[in-house]
Structure 1
Amino acid sequence: MRSGDSGDRGRIALAAARERRVRTREGVELCVAELGDATQPTIVLVHGFPDSKEVWSEVAARLADRFHVVLYDVRGHGCSTAPKPLRGGFTLEKLTDDFLAVADAVSPGRPVHLVGHDWGSVQGWEFATVKRTEGRLASFTSMSGPSLDHFGHWIKKRVSRPTPRRIAQALGQGVRSWYVYALHTPVLPELAWKGPLATQWPKILERMEKVPANGYPTASLPTDAAHGAWLYRDNVRSRLRRPRNDCYAHTPVQLITPTGDLFLSERLYDELELWAPKLTRRTLPAKHWIPRTRPDQLATWIRDFVTSNESGVPVVEHPPSGPYADRFAGQLVLITGAGSGIGRATAFSFAEAGARIVAVDLDAESAARTADMARLIGAPEAWAETVDVSDEQGMEKLALRVAAEYGTVDVLVNNAGIGVSGSFLDTSVEDWKKTLDVNLWGVIHGCRLFGKQMAERGQGGHIVNTASAAAFQPSKALPAYSTSKAAVLMLSECLRAELAGTGIGVSAICPGIVNTNITRSARFTGVDEKEQRKRQERSSRLYGLRNYPPEKVAEAIVRAVVRDQAVIPVTPEARGARLLYRLFPGALRAVARVEPPI
């Protein structure tokens, strides 16, 4: 799926939405769009600055099949009218009136689930903590926008009880908040937004945040941004100087924190449990505009949080136990050859870190077993997919299905492979073709299809290709296998260079002798069936005696992604062969004459 396809999905969903006007007591008319079945639980999405409701189009499209989804343009934005006069017309108290008017219109008598981004989240914290909204909220999901009251207390604590760390945190956030000061200046922000800034804004978003246009932002941007400046002027200074002391959330809260947010420090949410007793925390390796860049992940978390609260079962957090949970929690990881061995162990390692898993294997039962176990280990979601990686059309269908149903892959592990042993003269054309189709073309298909999706999304990612120590260790008995793995190694090096500017890392994992079932299914050429079974059994025994576990290779794969390593020889013999290859190639050629176990 191209990045534009998901944008089309969002635009189509909003085009088909039911639209109504909700009039507030002040006479402001709010433009409200509804999707989905109105008898289902209602989710209200509130946008931030300088956006309109269209910022949510892709998230809304993903939620509408199960929920009643409501989006509205905040006063003065999009198709909603602006208050007169503007000064004093955007206070949090009046924004709360607007929210209650919308909630009463779209979900009379039944509490709604609120989701806010940026200033939509700032508003949401007000709605979730004031007395007059009690009973109208079933849950609140906050992203990229703190409570101004909590922020005020956060600043006061650092000023009244300073330490070097607290001072550094306050100064760091002060630098990130440069735009807040700019928006408080009179007239200039309006002139900038109604002039060149609005024209350049889509390009700025695409360059800095990799936000695809896809019908966003809309033509109302200059007016939206000019009016939105009053959100800051009417609220920020007054609330930061005199934050409320009763700003406790009266509803369950889900906090989604993008770790790469250029405007808000993660430290702003330290001690948030004091203000939100029923708090669920999520982190996402992304920048500020996650409703546009990561709608798949947001929709999953929103859906799960809403469903949990609707069921009346408290959300019990089981934080990922893996050492890299902060890095991979919530990310989508696809592993081919995941039905056993290194592939299965890799799925489990990422599951421990809280990643969502797509386990792909030619054996449907084995893939399903891996997915089931990954969920037990810690994956919030895991799915099984069946495909022959050498089948170009099958892989294309898989890539489209994964993008449509699960989202863009964050980490791709091209692990599927087969073993073949035998001299060059005994290896038939069919054996060569099958080996290269799976070991090389399977990797090419994965890199081409899923790598393209990563690049078009523009949010980075990582590709891991399983090569082998045989990639740099010649052997007279492994010409086909070694050639295929050497090609994977060189492909990985070339792709790493090509994708370096996109934020996509590429790693080649080169295991040595690892105790997996590849020897049981390996093809031995030039011998009859009886001799082939005998050699398979002998090789399996040798690999079993070596007993290097696939879990260690999986750990190396996870570390390679974290450290963005290029080539990783795994096992002592692989590291030794790599060293000989680089320093003493003649010695390695002598070793090549020895019959290997496979």
Structure 2
Amino acid sequence: MSREGRLEGRSGGVLRDARERWVRTGGIELCVAELGDAARPTVVLVHGYPDSKEVWSEVAGRLAEHFHVVLYDVRGHGRSTAPRPLRGGFTLEKLTDDFLAVADAVSPDEPVHLVGHDWGSVQAWEFVTVRRTEGRIASFTSMSGPSLDHFGHWIKRRTTRPTPRRVGQLLGQGARSWYVYALHTPVLPELAWRGPLGKRWPGLVRRMEGVPADGYPTASLPSDAAHGAWLYRDNVRARLRRPRSDAYAHAPVQLITPTGDAFLSERLYDDLGEWAPQLVRRTLPAKHWVPRTRPDQLAAWITEFVTAHEERGGEVAAPVAAGRRYADRFGGQLVLVTGAASGIGRATAFAFAEAGARVVAVDRDAEGAARTAAMARLVGAPDSWGEAVDVSDEQAVEKLADKVSAEYGTVDVLVNNAGIGLSGAFLDTTSDDWRKVLDVNLWGVIHGCRIFGRRMAERGQGGHIVNTASAAAFQPSRMLPAYSTSKAAVLMLSECLRAELAGRGIGVTAVCPGIVNTNITSTARFAGVSADEEKRRQKKTARLYGLRNYPPEKVADAILRAVVRNEAVVPVTPEAHGARLLSRFAPGALRALARLEAKL
């Protein structure tokens, strides 16, 4: 049973113009909001604790461009009524009744695609694993909320067969779950939420989680949180003590795991493949409240997953389905690579593309950047773009950043790779030579770090910056004073920036390749020689690097690995590792080697 209306003037953000529907079930009324074309596939968003449906407003607005989007206030939250009495009114069985009533009202003839966050995900795991919902759920996207049944089995396995690692996992999750114990105490949670905690909560989630100050949470927060305490009291202890043995998902599942979640360990999902045979995993470098902090990324992943099961018969995008390396980490993320027309930059763009990232290939060679973007689309990144920019031009980089932010979103991973080579003795190197090298190799990195790094910091959800330095950064050479100086500066800049941005969740890595077979050798300049001699040296150097034949793809692999591990300095190639070790333990030997003059 339902009645319809409008939410105009009652809710913030995109929900202000949503269509309103009231669904009556089990003696309560659920407030349901709808966006988008009702003829399209239906996506149902279920909120968590202590939220209301408005937590989804930013995600819902993006999804409504493609789907019929439905949000509802869980019983006792927002504008939905609360059961009386509260005790026993929030069991998973009754929450399942509510979901089925909403699904029958908004999509009576077709199954719905389910998305849950926090307790919305906890209850949605119940929906997708009980018999009576079979055929009503087309797919399920879970984030920051495990099945209580799976959690119960996870605990039992670690208590019945303890090992030091398993005990550590139990203790770690136990510490993260402190709030669960608090919510089981009588009366005190209600008093806290209706008193000082309710008033301070908006400021707390802004400071601790980076949640924007945009009208969330709503004014109903104190009563929502007070009622929602019964979600824990009615379900947690009972299910953890006696978890169901048949809690298998009967629909495809997409798991999105925020790596910075303060409340849930990633280890909780180690055994999930056993319970969800059709499982796709994603990881996101973010904190708990991703519907507010990363709506762009969530909308992209949900759209991809829903579309896969609507239009491609369940065939998930190739990078995820094929289990390619790092696909769960970089799938859907926005990666910008400079110097991407060739060499290490091009290989890095392809590596991120194969991992499912969206790639912006930047180079002053417009045709080369466009070719890289086109090839990235072929290897796994349908959303790839080429941009022609000279990184030494600060205003041009500013314009690029504005365009990227407006059209593609905030960059998650920035790879400052553009660089030029210059060989020649210091006394033969002119001021113009120095300026050209420093403008690209150093100032290009500074511009990228400052302009894109600021946007990462303002977003408040972390990111990563990779700066391509060189083995020359820790190995002096009488023939590379300008080049070595520029790369040593990039190394120190990276170290300083890493210290500054660590508190914002932004990692910084300096990658230091040695002799790699790229075309930088054929375009490098040689100071103090004639044009003919310069060409001869370019050809000979290119031939020597070709004989060494260390591929740029190995550097690209090291870059992706460094981002995943958040490594500070990454030497690549044996000679780079050797030079770094000598710089630490035998600097005198490096100085002696620096006096040698290479014969070209």
1:596/1:400 CA distance change after superposition, 3 Å: farther
Q: How far apart are 1:186 and its partner, in Å?
A: 1.6
Q: Distance in 2 between matches of 1:267 and 1:254?
A: 16
Residue of structure 2 in register with 1:511 after alignment: 513
Conserved? CA contact 2:285–2:463, under 8 Å: no
Equivalent of 2:559, from 546, 557, 560? Answer: 557
Conserved? CA contact 2:509–2:567, under 8 Å: yes
Q: In the TM superposition, what whole-angstrom CA distance separates every residue of 1:492-530 from its partner, at most 9, and x where no partner exists?
A: 233223223333232323333322101222234566654
Residue of structure 2 in register with 1:455 after alignment: 457
Residue 591 (str. 1) matches residue 565 (str. 2): no
Q: Distance in 2 between matches of 1:494 and 1:393?
A: 24
Q: Distance in 1 between matches of 2:12 and 2:534?
A: 57
Residue of structure 2 in register with 1:228 after alignment: 228
Residue of structure 1 in register with 2:138 after alignment: 138
Residue of structure 2 in register with 1:25 after alignment: 25
Conserved? CA contact 2:12–2:215, under 8 Å: no
Q: In the TM superposition, what whole-angstrom CA distance separates every residue of 1:287-308 from its partner, at most 9, and x where no partner exists?
A: 3222223323222221111001
Letter in 2 for 1:420: L
SS at match of 1:78: coil
Residue 195 (str. 1) matches residue 195 (str. 2): yes
Letter in 2 for 1:491: L
Instruction: Name whichever of 226-235 and 102-111 sits farther off.
Output: 102-111
Instruction: Name whichever of 76-85 and 236-245 sits farther off.
Output: 236-245
Q: How far apart are 1:443 and its partner, in Å?
A: 0.7
Q: In the TM superposition, what whole-angstrom CA distance separates every residue of 1:8-66 from its partner, at most 9, and x where no partner exists?
A: xxx98525531413131345333333333333222111100011122222322332222
SS at match of 2:48: coil
1:377/1:163 CA distance change after superposition, 3 Å: farther
Q: In the TM superposition, what whole-angstrom CA distance separates every residue of 1:157-203 from its partner, at most 9, and x where no partner exists?
A: 556x5444666655554443332222122211100111121233234
Instruction: Name whichever of 306-315 and 401-410 sits farther off.
Output: 401-410
Equivalent of 1:318, from 316, 321, 328? Answer: 321
SS at match of 2:217: coil
SS at match of 1:413: strand
Q: Distance in 2 between matches of 1:195 and 1:12?
A: 24
Q: In the TM superposition, what whole-angstrom CA distance separates every residue of 1:58-94 from its partner, at most 9, and x where no partner exists?
A: 3223322222222222222223332333233323333
Conserved? CA contact 2:36–2:68, under 8 Å: yes
Conserved? CA contact 2:45–2:114, under 8 Å: yes
Letter in 2 for 1:594: E
Conserved? CA contact 2:341–2:369, under 8 Å: yes
- Structure 2 gaps, min length 5: 1-10
Residue of structure 1 in register with 2:6 after alignment: none
Q: How far apart are 1:115 and its partner, in Å?
A: 0.3
Instruction: Name whichever of 48-57 and 546-555 sits farther off.
Output: 546-555
Equivalent of 1:359, from 358, 361, 384? Answer: 361
SS at match of 1:135: coil
Q: Distance in 2 between matches of 1:237 and 1:214?
A: 36
Q: Distance in 2 between matches of 1:114 and 1:103?
A: 10
Residue of structure 2 in register with 1:414 after alignment: 416
Q: Distance in 2 between matches of 1:330 and 1:270?
A: 22
Residue of structure 2 in register with 1:501 after alignment: 503
Q: Distance in 1 between matches of 2:431 and 2:389?
A: 24
TM-score, normalised on structure 1? 0.86
Q: How far apart are 1:228 and its partner, in Å?
A: 0.7
Conserved? CA contact 1:19–1:31, under 8 Å: no
Q: Distance in 1 between matches of 2:514 and 2:66?
A: 48
Q: How far apart are 1:134 and its partner, in Å?
A: 3.2
Residue of structure 2 in register with 1:534 after alignment: 536
Letter in 2 for 1:91: T
Letter in 2 for 1:248: Y
Residue 51 (str. 1) matches residue 51 (str. 2): yes
1:375/1:51 CA distance change after superposition, 3 Å: same
1:546/1:46 CA distance change after superposition, 3 Å: same
- Structure 1 gaps, min length 5: 1-10
Q: Distance in 2 between matches of 1:470 and 1:168?
A: 43
Residue of structure 1 in register with 2:211 after alignment: 211
Q: How far apart are 1:119 and its partner, in Å?
A: 0.9
Conserved? CA contact 2:23–2:31, under 8 Å: no
Q: How far apart are 1:414 and its partner, in Å?
A: 0.5
Q: How far apart are 1:559 and its partner, in Å?
A: 4.4
SS at match of 1:80: coil
Residue of structure 2 in register with 1:295 after alignment: 295
Q: Distance in 2 between matches of 1:539 and 1:409?
A: 36
1:585/1:75 CA distance change after superposition, 3 Å: same
Instruction: Name whichever of 360-369 and 186-195 sits farther off.
Output: 360-369
Residue 71 (str. 1) matches residue 61 (str. 2): no
Residue of structure 1 in register with 2:444 after alignment: 442
Q: Distance in 1 between matches of 2:150 and 2:558?
A: 41
1:550/1:168 CA distance change after superposition, 3 Å: closer
Q: How far apart are 1:221 and its partner, in Å?
A: 1.4
Equivalent of 1:546, from 545, 548, 552? Answer: 548
Q: Distance in 2 between matches of 1:558 and 1:120?
A: 33
Q: Distance in 2 between matches of 1:397 and 1:336?
A: 15
